[in-house]
Amino acid sequence: MTRDQFELLAPGGDVESIKAAIAAGADAVYCGLDRFNARNRAANLTLDNLT
């Protein structure tokens, strides 16, 4: 990747946030699944949510 190229990466805490990030032009969205998330008390996504 050159200095002139960049990727907009956005957090996706839930399905609606993921949809909003994509609609707003994010190139990529990151999220944590179930127990594999740093936000232990958050309402985390499940694999079923993403399929």
Residue-range definition of the domain harbouring residue 45:
9-50
28 pLDDT more than 90: yes
Is 42 exposed, middle or buried, given 0-12, 13-18 or 19+ CB atoms closer than 10 A?
exposed
Stronger pLDDT, 32 or 48, i.e. the higher one? 48
With respect to residue 39, please indicate whether it lies within any of the assigned structural domains.
yes
Residues in the chain: 51
% of the chain residues with pLDDT over 70 = 73
pLDDT of residue 47: 79
Rounded CA-CA distance 18/22 in Å is 6
**The pTM of the whole model exceeds 0.85:** no
Across the chain, what does the average pLDDT equal?
Answer: 80
Confidence of residue 45 (pLDDT cuts 50, 70, 90): confident
The domain total for the chain is 1
With respect to residue 30, please indicate whether it lies within any of the assigned structural domains.
yes
pLDDT of residue 49: 80
With respect to residue 3, please indicate whether it lies within any of the assigned structural domains.
no
With respect to residue 43, please indicate whether it lies within any of the assigned structural domains.
yes
